[in-house]
Chains A and B, each alone.
Chain A
Amino acid sequence: MENALEVERLSVRLGGTEVLRHLSFRVQQGSALAVIGPNGAGKTVLFRALIGALPHGGVVRWAPGTRIGYVPQKLDIERDLPVTGRDFLRAKAEVSGVHGTDLGRALELVNLPPGAADQAIGAFSGGQFQRLLLASALMGKPNVLLFDEPTAGVDEPGEERLYEMIHRVQDAERLTLLLISHELSVVYRYATNVLCLSREEPCFGPPEEILTPERIEQVYGTPLKYHHH
């Protein structure tokens, strides 16, 4: 199988601090990589370096023809901004050169009722907004999806549904998925490989190797409970 992404000795400095140091890993096409680690370990920084939004050392090599769909962590949007979900999706459709019919399809794929798209984006609930961003990411017909903490700001039943939806979309669209998550049980279930970032050496491998109680304690600094399904 071909690699969708190859990262060699990636380093990122922010304001004099080295946030990421000599990070190397590969992501196969169609696989799912989960990035875990405590707050401040550089998970979002890694994603932003991968999309070229931050200057970095080392090599980030995407397969030729890669189209990235990026779903950022919750954004700071003013509540009364007069931009509706539909305005945003239409903008994304225009920029990606896809047609209006795909807008309905994208909404359907993420289970957003068409009526919800007509409210201002600042008024969306956390879960709805994540779905909207996912729908917009899918409009560009990506073959790689980067998802930064899908369930931040989502209640627990919503969380489960959101992960199931991401998984379903990944299967349906044959996407390579890169996912930042704190939900270790979900990571265990869906990830092909896990990349853990911490102040210690980063580790990389399949979940059954990485998600051992000792490793997790090493990464998070405390024993963390999670359950296999």
Chain B
Amino acid sequence: MDWTGLTLSIGMAVAAGLVGCFAVMRRMTLASDAMSHVALPGIGLALVFHFHPVLGGLAALLAGTLLIWWLERQTRISTETVIGVVFSLALAVGSMLATGDELVDALLGAPGTLGRWELALGLAGAAAVVAFVLTQRHRLVIVLVSGDIARTSGIRVARLELLYLLAFALTVALGLRYLGVLLMGSLVIIPAATAKHLARSLDGMFAISAGVAVSATLAGELLAPRLHRATGPLIIAIAAGMFLVGLVIRRRP
């Protein structure tokens, strides 16, 4: 593992850990896991038309995000239901577009070698997500407690929610090469779920979540070549192990 890849994966993990905190607190755990699947048709199209898979995935994720945001505002039917249908469909269509080894790589991730512009774009994306969560955390907390309090405090709730979903989509796109479509949602959710159990304040939750995401990612990347296992599944297995340890550790009263 070269240092450029390591730098980008740390950036990606910090972004995942921070974005995940609000996903878990807003109880959108399942939705966010399903949302990452929408990248697959984009990757499939990228493979068919020979452009970079991560760009295809990102485009599909952004389109999917706008779709969820719009559906949440327009319809009164359960968002979970809509997401379940739309994103299962995305997985199905994507699987038809990409086949064989390409499909396995898209689903589970394949680090490969990094171009210079990929590194630059990836780091810029991670920095944007981290900056968004840290600067908007006060507004996000108020919306979490009550949308009406947020509204009377002058917060534009719908716009903030759209920006949050876009940050989420960008985070998933950052992780596609490491974890793939199936597992990236887990790196957003598991560290944050661990932190929610252990932390007693918001700053504590951010620190624990980012810490778990980064250590699972680094440990996965270092151990994968030695154990002759794929990186993505190993990262998630380590994160899940940390979650279980967190469950056992008794929370201070």
* A interface residues with partner B (beta carbon < 8 Å): 15, 48, 51-53, 68-70, 72, 75, 77-78, 80-84, 86-88, 90-92, 94-96, 120-121, 133, 136-137, 140, 146
- B138, B144, B200: which contacts A120 (Cβ < 8 A)? B200
From known contacts A80-B196, A81-B25, A90-B138, infer whether A53 and B205 are also in contact, taking CB-CB under 8 Å. no
Q: Is the CB of A95 within 8 A of B153?
A: yes
Q: Specify which chain B residues have a CB less than 8 angstroms from the CB of A120 in the assembled complex.
A: 200
From known contacts A91-B142, A94-B138, infer whether A84 and B151 are also in contact, taking CB-CB under 8 Å. no
Q: Specify which chain B residues have a CB less than 8 angstroms from the CB of A78 in the assembled complex.
A: 25
Number of A-B contacts (CB under 8 A): 77
Q: Specify which chain A residues have a CB less than 8 angstroms from the CB of B142 in the assembled complex.
A: 88, 91-92, 95
Q: Give me 18 A-to-B residue pairs in the complex whose CB atoms sit less than 8 angstroms apart, sorted by A's number.
A: A51-B148, A53-B147, A53-B151, A69-B152, A81-B196, A82-B204, A83-B144, A87-B202, A87-B203, A91-B137, A91-B139, A92-B142, A94-B138, A95-B155, A120-B200, A133-B149, A140-B152, A146-B152
Q: Specify which chain A residues have a CB less than 8 angstroms from the CB of B147 in the assembled complex.
A: 53
* B interface residues with partner A (beta carbon < 8 Å): 25, 76, 137-139, 141-142, 144-149, 151-155, 195-197, 199-205
Give the docked Cα–Cα distance between A69 and B150 (Å).
10
Q: Is the CB of B197 within 8 A of A121?
A: no
Q: Is the CB of A87 within 8 A of B201?
A: yes
Q: How far is the CB of B72 from chain A (nearest CB, A)?
A: 15
Main secondary structure of the interface of B (DSSP, over half): helix
- Of chain A, the residue at the smallest CB distance from B142 is A91
- Of chain A, the residue at the smallest CB distance from B140 is A91
Q: Specify which chain B residues have a CB less than 8 angstroms from the CB of A70 in the assembled complex.
A: 148-149, 151-152
- Of chain A, the residue at the smallest CB distance from B153 is A95
Q: Is the CB of A51 within 8 A of B152?
A: yes
- Of chain A, the residue at the smallest CB distance from B196 is A82
Q: Specify which chain B residues have a CB less than 8 angstroms from the CB of A140 in the assembled complex.
A: 152-153
Q: Is the CB of B201 within 8 A of A92?
A: no
- Of chain A, the residue at the smallest CB distance from B205 is A82
Q: How far is the CB of B234 from chain A (nearest CB, A)?
A: 28
Q: Is the CB of A52 within 8 A of B151?
A: yes
Q: Is the CB of B197 within 8 A of A80?
A: yes
Q: Specify which chain A residues have a CB less than 8 angstroms from the CB of B138 in the assembled complex.
A: 90-92, 94-95
Give the docked Cα–Cα distance between A47 and B181 (Å).
44
Give the docked Cα–Cα distance between A90 and B139 (Å).
11
Give the docked Cα–Cα distance between A95 and B152 (Å).
11
Q: Specify which chain B residues have a CB less than 8 angstroms from the CB of A137 in the assembled complex.
A: 149
Q: Specify which chain A residues have a CB less than 8 angstroms from the CB of B200 in the assembled complex.
A: 82, 84, 120
Q: Specify which chain A residues have a CB less than 8 angstroms from the CB of B145 in the assembled complex.
A: 75, 77, 83, 88, 121
Give the docked Cα–Cα distance between A82 and B144 (Å).
12
Q: Specify which chain A residues have a CB less than 8 angstroms from the CB of B201 in the assembled complex.
A: 82-84, 86-87
Q: How far is the CB of B155 from chain A (nearest CB, A)?
A: 6
Q: Specify which chain B residues have a CB less than 8 angstroms from the CB of A48 in the assembled complex.
A: 148
Q: Is the CB of B148 within 8 A of A92?
A: no
Q: Specify which chain A residues have a CB less than 8 angstroms from the CB of B139 in the assembled complex.
A: 91, 95
Q: Specify which chain B residues have a CB less than 8 angstroms from the CB of A68 in the assembled complex.
A: 152
Q: Is the CB of B141 within 8 A of A87?
A: yes
Q: How far is the CB of A89 from chain B (nearest CB, A)?
A: 10
Q: Specify which chain B residues have a CB less than 8 angstroms from the CB of A91 in the assembled complex.
A: 137-139, 141-142
